[in-house]
Each structure stands twice: as C-alpha cells, then as structure tokens.
C-alpha cells in the first residue's frame, strides 16, 4: 500500500517539476484548490460514501485503482493542488489527498500530505 502512495506522489511531483523547469521564472499552478479541513470534518472512514466525499471536495481530479499485496482492490480518488514560483521557492506549495473506497463505495482509508497553508483560520491538522 505504501509503495502505491509513494509512486503516485512521485508522479504528481514530477508533473509539477516539468512545467517549473520549462518555465524557469514562471509561476505555475496544477490541480484545483480543495479544503482538507472540510473533508476531515465531514467524512468518516468506514461510513462516508462517494457522494459525501464529492459533496465535501467536488469531483476528483483523478480516479484509479489500488491493488494491495493481499489481492484487495480499492477504487481511489485523487485530489491535488500545487503552485510554484521558480523565482521564489519559499512560495511553492503542494498538497495531495488520495481516498480509497471499498466495494460498497464507502471510504476505506485515505492518505493526506502537503502544506496546510491556506487552511481556514482556526483550523488544525489531524
């Protein structure tokens, strides 16, 4: 399971890096902003379903399949957002949320990584 997440994360980072390198001094934005705090406060592992996730975050940017070593299969939705500026690396931000759904369409698990900049005032990480 960890290898799939790491590979996906590396692919997204690579997708971010290419435009940054080509643009040299340009600013770039990839993905779509999303509110992790809204997701974390509204969605529960084991009980929330596809419709509840979409209500909290909108449609996913990507959909895929996770195949575990034990043969388990999960549908996966991916949300990501990044912005960068080669002239000022301190402004670079990236966040990634991958949500796995069981066969019944309920949230089985999720991976979150990224920058909490832009989180609504008063929100905390979980």
For 19-61, what is each residue's pLDDT tens digit?
Answer: 655 555 578 888 999 989 889 999 999 999 999 999 999 999 9
- Is 120 a member of any domain? no
Mean pLDDT of 110-114: 91
**Cα gap 100→108, rounded to integer Å:** 5
- Is 125 a member of any domain? no
Global pTM reads 0.69
Q: Find the angle CA(105)-CA(5)-CA(89) to the nearest 5 degrees.
A: 125
- Is 92 a member of any domain? yes
pLDDT of residue 16: 64
pLDDT single digits (tens) 51-103: 999 999 999 999 999 999 999 999 999 999 988 877 777 777 889 999 999 99
Range of the domain at 60: 2-114
- Is 122 a member of any domain? no
Given the structure tokens 């809204």, which residue do they identify? 38
């Amino acid at each position: 399971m960890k290898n799939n997440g790491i590979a996906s994360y590396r692919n997204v980072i690579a997708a971010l890096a290419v435009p940054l390198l080509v643009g040299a001094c340009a600013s770039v934005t990839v993905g779509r902003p999303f509110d992790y705090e809204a997701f974390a406060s509204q969605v529960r592992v084991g009980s929330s379903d596809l419709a509840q996730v979409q209500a909290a975050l909108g449609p996913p940017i990507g959909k895929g399949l996770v195949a575990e070593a034990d043969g388990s299969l999960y549908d996966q939705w991916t949300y990501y957002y990044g912005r960068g500026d080669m002239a000022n690396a301190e402004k670079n931000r990236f966040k990634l949320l991958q949500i796995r759904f069981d066969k019944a369409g309920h949230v089985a698990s999720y991976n979150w990584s990224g920058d909490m900049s832009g989180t609504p005032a008063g929100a905390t990480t979980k």
